[in-house]
């Protein structure tokens, strides 16, 4: 039988298919194998989900990205790691952190055509820009901060279910303290974006003076922990009644507890936040890092952030809107949150909180004073909180003179810490000294 040539149309299809297969084989074999390292605040289970989904994607194969290592690292390390090229990407957090990194030159401007096209279609709050207008970061989704409530714990102590952080400034919540049980599991703000944003939200919602009084009351009821995961778990199993959480952790708590723990989006206190991703300025793999971001903003990545993180998607993907119903429901309860406020006072507020409220020596005395006030003067708690929680007068590490910890002073001292004119430790010691002196005086007045 003689050779019979294929019809022209079939031959063209075959040639195209072979060429496409050859191109894919070429791109996966000729590109060097790449491992991306990501600094993040994701939990281990969230990081594992991201890694598995991305490595199974066509994007990973196309760019020959053979591994993604996602490390949960303190924000304080991100700048140096980024500049030194020890990480390639920075993933999830708060826009104020990413804006600070952008200003410090720690982020590489995004320049892939795909990401630039996507950025033009996204709401402006989802795109972080330098002063010159270059893109520093892009949001992968919209999240919600609220808190987890364990109803079994509340029932055990006959406590009402709080609908807001302000509700906790009620003397009935001090009842478990008499049995050595804390009511709240609260992460240290220097270790947790959730805790830091919660503190900033309370100060914005209730004002500087009332806000610190409320935070002091919450602190007296709190067991302080070093991670948001620990706080989530404490509330999930009923070790405490309340823990601040982002909605993803809140939904995890609901599932793990069988509904005994619930996520609450407090009316007027719920905080909405865009969760960014950015490329480290020192990365050796800018093309691959931007491909990773583009995957996050594609259908597979957006489905993951909705299913695993509880976010609203950053871009429209058919079928995802209905899946983010709880987050969409929470939007109507949101407060107006100013990220600029956080950026101006962040260093001072975190230091002041951890020195005047969560420091172990201070908190031991604070809890004792607060418990006595709630037991002996429950009808006068508001008056006592004005003395217990109003901003302290402290020795200024810059001048040695005594100043009140006002919002204006917090702006000044935050700038001084960032510029290296004073250390965080020097401010911490001044605040702790003033806090202990006040608590010791109140303890004398309350007597034994």
CA atoms within 13 A on the CB side of 171: 17
3-state secondary structure 316-378: CCCCCHHHHHHHHHHHCCECCCCHHHHHHHHHHHHHHHHHHCCCHHHHHHHHHHHHHHHHHCH
Task: For 332-373, write each residue's pLDDT tens digit.
Answer: 899 999 989 999 999 999 999 999 999 999 999 999 999 999
Residue 166 confidence (pLDDT) above 60: yes
Residue 58 exposed, middle or buried by CB count within 10 Å (0-12, 13-18, 19+): exposed
User: Average pLDDT in the 8-32 region?
Assistant: 46
Residue 5 confidence (pLDDT) above 70: no
pLDDT value for 6: 34
pLDDT value for 393: 98
Residue 317 confidence (pLDDT) above 90: no
Cα 123–129–133 angle (5° rounding)?
Answer: 105
Residue 166 DSSP symbol? G
Residue 93 confidence (pLDDT) above 60: yes
Q: What percent of the chain has pLDDT over 70?
A: 92
Task: For 176-220, write each residue's pLDDT tens digit.
Answer: 999 999 999 999 999 999 999 999 999 999 999 999 999 999 999
Q: Which fold has domain 32-141+274-329?
A: D-Maltodextrin-Binding Protein; domain 2 (3.40.190)
24, two tokens: 């894919």
CB atoms within 10 A of CB 78: 25
Q: How sure is the predictor about 320, in pLDDT bands with cuts at 50, 70 and 90? A: low
CA dihedral of 249, 255, 256, 261, whole degrees rounded to 10: 70
Mean pLDDT computed over every residue of the chain? 91
Domain residue spans of the chain: 32-141+274-329
Question: Which residues are paired to 128 by β-bridges?
Answer: 137
Taking the model in full, what pTM does it have?
0.84
User: Average pLDDT in the 280-294 region?
Assistant: 98
Instruction: Determine the Cα–Cα distance for residues 366 and 354; give it in Å rounded to an integer.
Output: 13
CB atoms within 10 A of CB 425: 11
19, two tokens: 């060429």
User: Average pLDDT in the 86-92 region?
Assistant: 97
Q: How sure is the predictor about 312, in pLDDT bands with cuts at 50, 70 and 90? A: confident
């Amino acid at each position: 039988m003689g050779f019979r040539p294929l019809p022209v149309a079939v031959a063209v299809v075959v040639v195209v298919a072979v060429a496409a297969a050859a191109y894919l084989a070429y791109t996966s074999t000729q590109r060097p194998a790449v491992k991306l390292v990501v600094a993040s605040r994701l939990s281990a289970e969230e990081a594992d989900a991201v890694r598995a989904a991305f490595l199974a994607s066509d994007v990973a194969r196309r760019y020959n990205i053979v591994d993604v290592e996602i490390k949960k690292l303190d924000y304080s390390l991100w700048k140096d790691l980024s500049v030194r090229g020890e990480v390639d990407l920075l993933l999830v957090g708060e826009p104020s952190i990413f804006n600070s990194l952008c200003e410090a030159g720690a982020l590489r401007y995004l320049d892939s055509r795909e990401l630039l096209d996507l950025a033009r279609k996204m709401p402006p709050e989802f795109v972080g820009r330098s002063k010159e207008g270059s893109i520093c970061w892009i949001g992968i989704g919209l999240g919600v901060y609220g808190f987890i409530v364990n109803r079994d714990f509340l029932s055990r102590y006959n406590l009402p279910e709080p609908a807001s952080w302000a509700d906790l400034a009620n003397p009935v919540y001090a009842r478990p303290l008499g049995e050595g049980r804390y009511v709240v599991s609260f992460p240290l703000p220097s270790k947790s974006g959730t805790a830091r944003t919660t503190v900033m939200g309370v100060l914005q919602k209730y004002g500087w003076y009332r806000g610190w009084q409320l935070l002091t009351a919450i602190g007296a009821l709190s067991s302080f922990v070093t991670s948001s995961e620990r706080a989530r778990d404490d509330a999930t199993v009923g070790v405490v009644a309340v823990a601040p959480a982002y909605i993803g952790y809140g939904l995890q708590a609901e599932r793990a507890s069988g509904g005994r723990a619930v996520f609450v989006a407090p009316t007027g206190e719920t905080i909405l936040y865009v969760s960014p991703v950015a490329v480290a300025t020192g990365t050796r793999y800018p093309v691959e890092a931007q491909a990773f971001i583009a995957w996050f903003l594609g259908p597979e990545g957006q489905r993951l952030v909705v299913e695993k993180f509880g976010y609203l998607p950053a871009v429209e993907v058919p079928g995802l809107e209905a899946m983010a119903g709880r987050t969409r429901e929470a939007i109507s309860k949101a407060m107006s949150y100013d990220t600029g406020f956080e950026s101006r006072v962040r260093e001072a507020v975190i230091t002041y909180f951890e020195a005047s409220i969560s420091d172990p020596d201070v908190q031991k005395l604070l809890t004792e004073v607060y418990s006595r006030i709630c037991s002996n003067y429950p009808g006068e708690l508001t008056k006592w909180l004005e003395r217990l929680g109003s901003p302290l007068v402290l020795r200024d590490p810059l001048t040695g003179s005594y100043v009140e910890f006002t919002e204006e002073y917090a702006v000044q001292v935050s700038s001084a810490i960032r510029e290296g004119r004073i250390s965080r430790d020097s401010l911490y010691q001044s605040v702790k000294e003033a806090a202990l002196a006040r608590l010791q005086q109140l303890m004398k007045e309350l007597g034994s």
